[in-house]
Amino acid sequence: MATARTSAAARPYHHGSLREALVEAGLSLARTGGPEAVLLRAVSREAVVSHNAAYRHFADHDELLGAVGERCMRNLALLMGTRTDEVRVRQPVKRARAELDAIGRAYIEFAQTEPGWFRTAFAAVKSDQPGDHAQLSAAETPPSAGELNPYQLLSARLDRLVAVGEVPAERRPGAEYSAWSVVHGLSCLLVDGPLRYLPRAEIEVAINTALALVQRGL
Partner DNA sequence: TGTACATCAGTGAACGCGCGTTCACTGATGTAC
Q: Binding residues for its own copies, per CB under 8 A? A: 122, 125-126, 130-133, 135-136, 140, 151, 173-175, 177-189, 192-199, 202, 205-206, 208-210, 212-214, 216-218
Judged by beta carbon, residue 18 or residue 87, the one nearer DNA is 18
The DSSP result for 174-201, as a single string, is THHHHHHHHHHHHHHHHHTSTTTT--HH
**Are residues 44 and 22 in contact, defined by beta-carbon separation less than 8 angstroms?**
yes
Q: Please say whether the dihedral angle defined by the alpha carbons of residues 215, 188, 144 and 132, taken in this order, is positive or negative.
A: positive
Contacts to DNA from residues 30-69, by CB under 7 A: 39-42, 49-53, 55-57, 60-62
The identity of residue 74, as a single letter, is R
Instruction: Determine which residue in the list 7, 14, 142, 201 makes contact with DNA, applying CB under 7 A.
Output: 14
Spatial separation of the C-alpha atoms in residues 193 and 184, rounded to whole Å: 12
Q: How far is the CB of 217 from its own copies (least distance, A)?
A: 3
Instruction: Determine which residue in the list 1, 4, 6, 13 makes contact with DNA, applying CB under 7 A.
Output: 13
**Are residues 57 and 18 in contact, defined by beta-carbon separation less than 8 angstroms?**
yes
**Is 126 near DNA (CB under 7 A)?**
no
**Is 161 near DNA (CB under 7 A)?**
no
**Is 9 near DNA (CB under 7 A)?**
no
Spatial separation of the C-alpha atoms in residues 101 and 95, rounded to whole Å: 10
Q: How far is the CB of 20 from DNA (least distance, A)?
A: 10
DSSP E strand stretches across 9-162: none
Footprint on this chain of DNA (rule: CB under 7 A): 12-16, 18, 39-42, 49-53, 55-57, 60-62
